A and B are shown apart, each in its own frame.
Chain A
Amino acid sequence: MLELVDVHAEVDGKPILKGLSLVVKAGEVHAIMGPNAAGKSTLSKVICGHEAFRVTGGDIRFEGQSVLELAPEERARIGIFLSFQHPVEIPGVSTSYFLKAAVNAVRKARGLDELSAVDFLKQAREKMKLVDMTKDLLNRSVNQGFSGGEKKRNEIFQMAMLEPKLAILDEMDSGLDVDALRIVANGVNALRSPERAMLVITHYQRLLDYLVPDYTHILVDGRIVKSGDADLAREVEDRGYDWIRAELGAAAGA
């Protein structure tokens, strides 16, 4: 579903990704772990087409097609979703208006009819239950005044509404206490399906106790330096990242 081929990317002229390759198939959940400044957030942004991040080499393919020339909204419409590490507060734009516009833009791209106001509301109510939210959320401005937990739940609610093929969850656990983390992770687990792939980007292993990945990749200095299964994540939790750096250094020196 998603193929990253030797991706190089920079922000403000500074190289961040330095030859990152990764293949994610439908139904798979991949965890990307790495120390600070390894390029984790840059990875999520370049897949979604953030204009501040420039891809300088390689290719990003989604279902076989390069997405590099596509605008962020076009990537969303073909089924790519990003759960933000820091969801943006947008005063004055109601969640229901925004989300209805988003859902209908995505449906239109898929050749489906627009949802009527009634059907939208029905679906929204259903999907809010996934993350324990109440319908007053719809009348509030997007993320405005939300707690950290509410913001992350709102991200997962939006994901449920938009039904993406690929969901990228960027530091979903940051700023969450254990209870909130469990709610959010349960919501995500309910959205796992054989047709949907997920890329879970995280600094800590904690999240992966709730959201068990099929594969774990370690990102250091803009490249994936080690891949494994869920056990690799636990090893990182126990030993930190330094042993991987040491291994890399030994390999480079050999």
Chain B
Amino acid sequence: MEARDAYVAAFESARASLPGVAALRRAAIEGLEFPMRRNEAWRFTSARQLLAEVRPCAYGVFGALPEGVQGVEALGSVAGTRLGSVASSDGFAGLNAAFFKDFALLATEAGASRTVELSTQLGGLATPRVLVVGESGSHTEVLLHHALRPGLAVPVVEIVALAGARVSLTHVVEGEGDLAGCIAVEAGEGSEVAVQSVLAGVGIARLDLTARLGPSSRLDTSGLVLGAGSAHADHHLCIHHSGAGATSTQRFRNILDARSRAVFTGEVHVLRDVPGADATQTANTLLLSDDASAVARPWLVIDNDDVAASHGATVGRLDPDALFYLRSRGVGALEARRLLTRAFAGEVIETVPAAFREGVEHVVERYLAGRVS
């Protein structure tokens, strides 16, 4: 493939300037291969379209890192060596592994708590890499906000929650460019990990969320797609219940206007020797326009009888009875539509940690101000 060859060549000329993890980079570029449509996991999102233009790498996307967050100098630290241990380096994540320079390490010591906000400005081929390591009994809350400018962003976030750690990631994408991002979670015994994803960009966005759940761990995922114009947003989850008695939840909502489209795939794998898994999944879509569309695919692969799993998906419009009820009390038609649309997003917004909730509400307000009319 043309794009692949171009990126391999770019790597050869850039590699001397790329910091650390040479073996990881080399393996990623040698194995670099992009998913085709016949790949079931990429049936609804065109990798070819994402690769239509080969772009130069753009660095410096984090600006200054907040206090307590380490940069590339920490690649050799104990926590830093976990890099690449959770995320795969397949496909677009391979581009990140090969080319990344912008690196942020958030390591929370045992028993400690911290709340961190990171933001990026992404354009060209942007490859930010974040590693979150929560030591035993620690509590970490991270907001990662990506502002996309034209280009292709391939951010990778790895989360390592050690035994009994709690980690929450709020991952927000806004702006004009395309995205093929990856969030990978390793949940240790008894740990609790939460990931909330907001895709509010107007380009093509694909976000893969993969997780391995250790014994008695918990993963709560939620997502909100705010679709406008011809935006395409694809959430693809792949959750492996690797340890007994783990719980996973998926709560995704799409609000789609104009010609926008959302895809949701929730893969859950429970192996034969893993009893006591509990997996729930809901995907609900609100269509604000006749031309918007959504695909929801539950994908449960369960090889053990001792399991509780449920899934549900709905697609609908604003309830005309609810609209009439609000209007009959004097609330204007536009305000009534906004109230109901905001309420639809509410179930996901309330999963966001209090520290970041207002920020996410603002994303929703910006979207509503531009779309619901």
Task: Tell me, in angstroms, the Cα distance from A102 to B336 when the chains sit together.
Answer: 10
Answer yes or no: B339 CB below 8 A from chain A CBs. Answer: yes
Whether B324 sits at the interface, judged by CB under 8 Å, is yes
Q: Which of B320, B330, B340, B343 has the most CB of A within 10 A?
A: B330
A88 touches B331 (CB 8 A): no
Min CB distance, A85 to chain B, in Å?
Answer: 12
Task: Write 8 A-B pairs (CB below 8 A) sorted by A numbering.
Answer: A71-B327, A72-B327, A73-B327, A76-B328, A76-B330, A82-B328, A88-B322, A102-B330
Chain A positions near chain B (C-beta within 8 angstroms): 48-52, 71-73, 75-77, 81-82, 84, 87-88, 90-93, 97-99, 101-103, 105-106, 109, 141-142, 158, 162
- Residues in chain B near residue A82, CB distance under 8 A: 328
**A51-B324, A84-B325, A90-B322 known; A77-B330 Cβ under 8 A:** yes
In the complex, which of the residues A92, A101, A106, A109 contacts B346, with contact meaning CB atoms closer than 8 Å?
A92
B332 CB–A CB distance under 8 Å? yes
Question: CB of B344 within 8 A of chain A?
Answer: yes
**Inter-subunit contact A90/B330 (CB<8 Å):** no
Q: Is B347 an interface residue (CB 8 A)?
A: yes
The chain A residue sitting closest to B346, CB to CB, is A92
A102 in contact with B344 given A51-B324, A72-B324 (CB within 8 Å): no
Residue of A nearest to B339 (CB): A93
* B333 pairs with A105, CB closer than 8 A: no
- With both beta carbons as reference points, the residue of chain B lying nearest to A109 in the complex is identified as B330
- Which residues 293-339 of B sit at the A interface, judged by CB distance below 8 A? 319-322, 324-333, 335-336, 339
Contact between B324 and A98, CB atoms less than 8 A apart: no
* Inter-subunit contact A50/B331 (CB<8 Å): no
Q: A51-B324, A101-B335 in contact; A93/B343 too (CB < 8 A)?
A: yes
Kindly list chain A residues whose C-beta atoms are within 8 Å of the C-beta of B320. 51-52
- Nearest residue, chain B, Cβ from A77: B330
Decide: A93 near B340, CB < 8 A? Known: A88-B321, A101-B335, A105-B332: yes
Give B175 Cβ to nearest chain A Cβ, in Å. Answer: 27
Q: Which 3 A-B pairs have the closest CB atoms?
A: A92-B343, A76-B330, A102-B329
Task: Name the A residues within 8 Å of B342 (CB-CB).
Answer: 92
Chain B residues touching A, range: 20 to 34
Closest CB in chain A relative to B236 CB, distance in Å:
27
Of chain A, the residue at the smallest CB distance from B336 is A73
- How many Å lie between the Cα of A66 and that of B177 in the bound state? 52
**B343 and A90 within 8 A (CB):** yes
Known contacts A73-B332, A76-B330, A92-B344; can you find 18 more A-B pairs with CB under 8 A?
Answer: A49-B328, A51-B320, A72-B324, A72-B328, A73-B328, A75-B328, A76-B329, A84-B328, A88-B324, A88-B325, A90-B325, A90-B326, A90-B343, A93-B339, A98-B326, A101-B339, A105-B332, A142-B325
CB distance B329 to A98 under 8 Å?
Answer: yes
The contact of A98 among B331, B333, B344, by CB within 8 Å, is: B331
Which residues of B sit under 8 angstroms from A103, Cβ to Cβ?
330
Interchain CB contact under 8 A, A105 and B328: no
Cα–Cα distance between A205 and B174 once the two chains are bound (Å):
59
With a cutoff of 8 Å between Cβ atoms, the chain A residues found around residue B333 in the complex are 71, 73
A105 touches B331 (CB 8 A): yes
Cβ-closest chain B residue relative to A107 = B330
Contact of B331 among A81, A92, A101 (CB under 8 A): A101
Q: How far in angstroms is the closest Cβ of chain A from B349? A: 9
Q: Which residues of B contact A88 (CB under 8 A)?
A: 319, 321-322, 324-325
User: Which B1-21 residues sit within 8 Å CB-CB of chain A?
Assistant: none
Nearest-Cβ distance from residue B350 to partner chain A, whole angstroms = 9
Contact B330 A92 (CB under 8 A): no
Contact code string B192-222 (vs A, CB < 8 Å = 1, else 0): 0000000000000000000000000000000
Q: Once the chains bind, are B328 and A98 in contact (CB under 8 Å)?
A: no
Instruction: Give the residues in chain A near B340, CB-CB below 8 Å.
Output: 90, 93
Write the nearest CB–CB distance from A55 to chain B, whole angstroms.
16
List of B residues within 8 angstroms of A90 by Cβ: 319, 322, 325-326, 340, 343
* Given A87-B325, A88-B321, A88-B325: A98 touches B339 (CB 8 Å cut-off): yes
Complex-state Cα separation, A93 to B339, whole angstroms: 7
Given the complex of chains A and B, what is the CA–CA distance between A76 and B330 in angstroms? Answer: 5
CA distance A41 to B101 in the complex (A): 67
| Chain B: CB-nearest residue to A103 | B330
Shortest CB distance B357–A (Å): 14
B97-125 interface with A by 8 A CB criterion: none
Contact B325–A73 (Cβ < 8 Å): no
Q: In the complex, which residue of chain B has the Cβ closest to the Cβ of A141? A: B343
